[in-house]
Amino acid sequence: MLCPCGSNEKYESCCDPYHNGAAVAPNAEKLMRSRYSAFAMKNMNYIIKTTDPVDLVKFDRTANERWMLESEFLKLEILQSSENENQGTVEFQATFKHMGKVQTHHEVSAFRKINGNWFYRISQ
Ligand SMILES: [Zn+2]
């Protein structure tokens, strides 16, 4: 199957190695893509694993899990991404269907790298 992250590559050669732990995402954009495909595949453990540990206190697993299970993930568009050594920024637009209603979510996300692993920062 094609990877849900929109890369036009097969899942097996795209986000699967990150999901199954065979490899780590080499940059912020790939991490963002793999998080989106994890949402699409209802893989909450990967979302937790790739959220910055210091931000996890702000993460409501139950609410996120419910939203994830109720949603159908239609499309991810990466609008812009940049990074320097240990900090990254990815601007994206995600299209999903929640409770029968198509919605788009636009976000500029921050990422940071700790010991070779990229993590998503929760901003609010
Ligand atoms: Zn992918």
Tens of pLDDT, residues 112-124: 999 999 999 998 6
Residue 81 lies in a domain: yes
Residue 110 lies in a domain: yes
Residue 24 lies in a domain: yes
Q: Is 75 helix (H, G, I), strand (E, B) or coil?
A: strand
Residue 82 lies in a domain: yes
User: What pLDDT, on the 0 to 100 scale, is given for residue 123?
Assistant: 86
Provide the 10 A C-beta neighbour count for residue 6. 20
- Give how many domains the chain has, as a whole number: 1
Share of the chain above pLDDT 70, in %: 99
User: What pLDDT, on the 0 to 100 scale, is given for residue 83?
Assistant: 95
Distance 10 CA to ligand 1 centre (A): 8
Distance 18 CA to ligand 1 centre (A): 9
- pLDDT tens across 47-60, in order? 999 999 999 999 99
Q: Which CATH number goes with the domain that contains 86?
A: 3.10.450.50
Distance CA 90, CA 120 (A): 10
Distance 33 CA to ligand 1 centre (A): 6
Residue 64 lies in a domain: yes
- pLDDT tens across 91-110, in order? 999 999 999 999 999 999 99
Residue 18 lies in a domain: yes
Residue 19 lies in a domain: yes
Q: Tell me the pTM.
A: 0.96
Distance CA 4, CA 114 (A): 26
Count the helices and strands in the chain (H runs, E runs): 4, 4
CA atoms within 13 A of residue 56's CA, in its CB half-sphere: 12
Range of the domain at 26: 11-120
Q: Is 53 helix (H, G, I), strand (E, B) or coil?
A: helix
